[in-house]
Chain A
Amino acid sequence: MATISLSKSEKAYIQSSLKASSSLRADGRRPHDYRGIALETGVAPLANGSARLNIGKTNHEQSGGTEVLAATKLEVEDIENGDGVEGGRIVCSVSCSPSAYPHVSYAALDDLQYDYTTLVQDILAHPSLHPPNLSILRGKKSWLLALDLVVLSDSGNIYDALFMAARAALWDTKVPRTRSVEYRANGSRPAGGNDMDVDQEKQSALDTRQVKTATDFELEDYWDEGEPLGGRDKWPVCITLNLFPPLYYLDAALQEEAATPLRLLLMFSFKSQAPASLQGMRLMGTDDIDLSLVSGLIKEGEKHAGELFVAINAKLKEEDIRRTEKARRRFAAVR
């Protein structure tokens, strides 16, 4: 755990403030308040989708807040000879900038990265979330979706930030359009080399050979970067409940995290016209919790995750509009 050191009296102060009847926090928030979240998509021009997210920084501050950069890159994989899997696959990785954890040693930082990577990979690469349009050629070629997250600074609530950034980057991801190409050897033509003999080459409308024998593909030249990743509504959001059983609070700052013995991570996926599905759950910390409390906490978590989901979706749509507008203005300016 990458927590900062805190004196006993500071911990006691934070805990007693939260447990007091008015539940006040260090910066005046209520227990269920989030800090302000800044989000921007399309920050990396060479990525297929990217996003930058910051929790808790005000616009005047030069630094501060929990900042995460997420980017996706699509690579072609060979299914027959390479690592490719039918229907494509997703690989996530999280790396932490040493400046985000100045008090953590290099070896410990590696462990931390590994922990984050495992969690993100487990949740996002789950078959139930797999996007339908990651295959290129049946049995031959498929897309590898590599999602890379970089933690630039951590001032608490890193898990929620990681999943929000991942969701934004995946939402932003465009899969390039492809067209399959059939290879036909010259030798298959009639040996006579008679140019007039075209009739034999003609294919019937019912011919499905193209799909079967397609050996390679080419990228379609089209005005946009491709079509959005399928099922992008499904990407989950994470909500971290910081627990002082039976109390809980959201969006802990770094000091609050150090004073909290137990955390419950809940990842929810929301599909249209379907109840939210719990995609993952982690209990972290040194304390224990009564099992009977957990189901109530999951319900509460679902409520908050729903709010977060609505908010992030609205922002993502706003970003889409902003970027198409920017592209149009830029086009006009160049012309």
Chain B
Amino acid sequence: MITFTSFPVAPDPYLARNDDAADYLPDSDYMDVDLEEESDAGSSKLTCPGESITSSHAFMRGHGTYVENEEVISSVAGLIERVNKLVTVRALRTRYNPEVGDLVVGRITEVQPRRWKVDANSRQDAVLMLSSVNLPGGVQRRKLESDELQMRNFFEEGDLLVAEVQAFFADGAMSLHTRSLKYGKLRNGQLVTVPPILVRRLKSHFYTLPCGVDLILGLNGYIWVSKHVKENEQEGEEGFDAEAVYSNKNDEIDEATRTAISRVTNIIRVLATHSIPLTDTLLLEAYEWAIEADVDLKDLLQEDIGDALIAAVTNR
């Protein structure tokens, strides 16, 4: 089946001329956001580029702002944040800003001497040192020359991995580590990408949905959807089995699980296009709605069904 649609139509300027709406001019007073009047520093407000935030005499300009005519003006669309006298605007649509301790999903782009370069949706490629991965034959041991020579046996170009941000280098690039049995190479599933702002910092970023699907929400907006692996069957429970941890082979995955993985992926895409932050409860509700409404898998991505899904899960 092949269907053609039209692009969403911009309002025709010749027709809008007759509309009453065209006479409406935004009230200029509305734009004035005075931080002095804002009672507590914790509250944040949305702003858009070119909008005057405050006076430059009383405040210092931070990221996402500039000064013109003695006023601090936003240069991006985002949330105004204030620390003492420093005003910054955190952009809504941006690359991932890493912080130490964040959980990220990344893809290896390069294998270099004693390190891997990892694409983690950040401004620079992240670095994964050979010394910060689990090596075969024991979790804690010194790296050897033989490990250096077989780095591609652990990770090679294109491989996906889940890791934690360990530290930053002087140039702002992040350093990752996978020194936990929860971290490491990813398999048995597929990746879906959302804007990083939609993934919030949570207590845990590993979820298991009751439909037999594991979910890893990377804070960089990369989300790994995979087949559920039972706790006691996870690799490395007893001792460390390097063969299994760095394996490229998928397990046997049945049809129902594949369908569930695709359905979860589509739901995440729908939620992301509607700019709705992802949580496990929301995903679960959406999944149940999709099952109850008996929506065909691929129809989830259609506009009207997506809207119905969003209406159903956000109104509860």
Chain A residues close to B by CB (< 8 Å): 5-10, 12-14, 16-17, 20-22, 24-30, 33-34, 36-40, 52, 54, 58-61, 255, 307-308, 311-312, 314-315, 322, 326, 329-330, 333-334
Contacts and interface: CB of A to CB of B under 8 A. Distances in A.
A40 B258 CA distance: 36
A255 B269 CA distance: 16
A40 B303 CA distance: 18
A52 B258 CA distance: 35
A24 B253 CA distance: 12
B14 interface: yes
Contacts of B107: 5, 7
Contact of B5 (A7, A10, A36, A312): A36
Interface stretch (B43-51, B201-209, B293-301): B293-301
Interface stretch (B21-29, B52-60, B185-193): B185-193
Contact of A37 (B5, B14, B18, B262): B5
Interface of B: 1-8, 12, 14-15, 17-18, 107, 109, 157-160, 185-191, 248-250, 253, 255, 258-259, 262-263, 265-266, 269, 273-274, 296-298, 300-303, 306
13 contacts: A8-B248, A9-B160, A10-B158, A17-B258, A27-B301, A28-B263, A36-B5, A37-B4, A38-B6, A38-B7, A54-B7, A308-B2, A314-B4
Nearest to B259: A24
Contact of A39 (B4, B262, B303): B4
Contact of A16 (B1, B17, B250): B250
A24 B298 CA distance: 10
A59 B249 contact: no
Given A13-B188, A20-B255, A333-B14, A311 B265 contact: no
A22 B257 CA distance: 12
Contacts of B262: 24-28
Nearest to A24: B258
A59 B8 contact: yes
Contacts of B2: 34, 37, 307-308, 311
Given A27-B266, A58-B273, A10 B4 contact: no
A8 B249 CA distance: 8
Nearest to B157: A5
Nearest to A316: B4
Nearest to A25: B262
A22 to B, nearest CB: 5
Contacts of A34: 1-3
Chain B binding site: helix, strand, loop or mixed by DSSP? mixed
Chain A binding site: helix, strand, loop or mixed by DSSP? mixed
Contact of A61 (B14, B189, B273, B298): B273
A16 B253 contact: yes
Contacts of A6: 158
A61 B249 CA distance: 34
Contacts of B300: 28
A117 B12 CA distance: 35
B306 A22 contact: no
A79 to B, nearest CB: 39
A33 B1 CA distance: 6
A5 B157 CA distance: 7
A156 to B, nearest CB: 14
A138 B278 CA distance: 67
B274 to A, nearest CB: 6
Given A6-B158, A21-B255, A28 B14 contact: no
A5 B4 contact: no
Contacts of B160: 7, 9-10
B3 A37 contact: yes
A37 B2 CA distance: 8
A274 to B, nearest CB: 22
B258 A20 contact: yes
B15 A333 contact: yes
Contacts of B188: 9, 13
Contacts of B8: 59
Contacts of B259: 22, 24, 28
B164 to A, nearest CB: 19
A38 B5 contact: yes
Nearest to B195: A62
Contacts of A314: 4
A29 B14 contact: no
A59 B297 contact: no
B22 to A, nearest CB: 12
Given A7-B248, A13-B189, A34-B1, A28 B6 contact: no
A37 B259 CA distance: 24
Nearest to A251: B2
Contact of A7 (B159, B301, B302): B159
A40 B6 contact: yes
A33 B109 CA distance: 32
Contacts of A26: 190, 262, 265
B7 A334 contact: no
Nearest to A304: B2
B158 A7 contact: yes
B14 A334 contact: yes
A333 B301 contact: no
Given A10-B160, A24-B255, A28-B298, A38 B14 contact: no
